[in-house]
Amino acid sequence: MAAVGGTSQVPGISSVDRQHLDDALVACAGVPQVVEAIAASTRRQAILRTGWPIARWLGRLRRDPLKDLGLDSDMSMAALAKASLPEASPVQRAHAALALRDLTDKASAGLESSGRDAIRNAADPRAHTIVDDLDHAIEATQVRARTAWWWRAVQIVQWLAFLGLIAGLGWLAVEAIVDNFFPDTSLPDIQDIAGYAAGAVVAAGSAALGILLGLSSRLLARLSGRRRAKRADQALRAAIDEVTVRRIIGPVQEQLD
């Protein structure tokens, strides 16, 4: 056995080598692009639902980042898989094969040719189908895309502030029209606030509240985008890691054992 297999201590599969393989397969599957699109789209949705109504209307003119990947706003895994892996291209398969060969070379260092061949043969046949396996694994992964509760709450307050702005400006307009064209008409007596017309105070206060709330919502939207993208990244990486263990790590480790 020493003559056939050698007497050097086999390094096996280190955590660093396994992480390198996972990272290569994650990049091969296009996960970083999908995760970034999820973060950007979540920020956009949050801003559209919580921002100042006028800014929200203008923001709808921007293209949703998920649309560039052919995804719906629900971010279903079937759509994610289709976007990230539209087709197992030769380049993708080459990257997967290179990552697998690097893993087996490091894991079999010190073995004689028969031992190295056994380990390579445990991994190499799977290099041709690993991308398809990643596609199926991602499609089967579930990532919830729920609307944050605070979106609805902020949206209600924003609309109330917007209506307050309209009401304040409308009252100022009515007062101006009556004073200039109908001086004999009496309007309800509304006391000034701190020496300023009540309509102006209501309009200015509503506008300030809406703008301040919109700016705060942008910060929260960025945090929400990061959290949702992190959850999606973890779920997709876990699915890829399961494929790696089942199709690569397990068979190679069996040969090493």
User: Tens digit of pLDDT for each residue in 42-73?
Assistant: 887 787 778 777 766 666 666 655 555 555 55
- Most confident range (mean pLDDT) of 112-126, 160-174, 183-197 is 160-174
Instruction: Quote the pLDDT of residue 32.
Output: 81
Give the separation between CA 111 and CA 115, rounded to whole angstroms: 6
pLDDT band for position 130 (cuts 50, 70, 90): confident
Instruction: Quote the pLDDT of residue 4.
Output: 65
* pLDDT higher than threshold 50 for residue 84: no
Whether pTM > 0.85 for this model: the answer is: no
CA of 106: how far to CAs of 11, 21, 116, 130, in Å?
8, 12, 10, 20
Give the separation between CA 90 and CA 98, rounded to whole angstroms: 12
Give the separation between CA 214 and CA 208, rounded to whole angstroms: 10
Instruction: Quote the pLDDT of residue 60.
Output: 62
Rg of the Cα atoms in the chain: 30
Instruction: Give the E-state strand segments of the chain in sequence order.
Output: none
Q: What's the mean pLDDT when you consider all of the chain?
A: 76
User: Tens digit of pLDDT for each residue in 150-159?
Assistant: 888 888 888 8
Contacting residues for 30 by C-beta, under 8 A, at least 6 apart: 83, 84, 85
| Token pair in block for residue 204 | 């200015």
Give the separation between CA 31 and CA 17, rounded to whole angstroms: 20
- Exposed, middle or buried by CB within 10 Å (0-12, 13-18, 19+), for 97? middle
Helix (H/G/I), strand (E/B), else coil: 196: strand
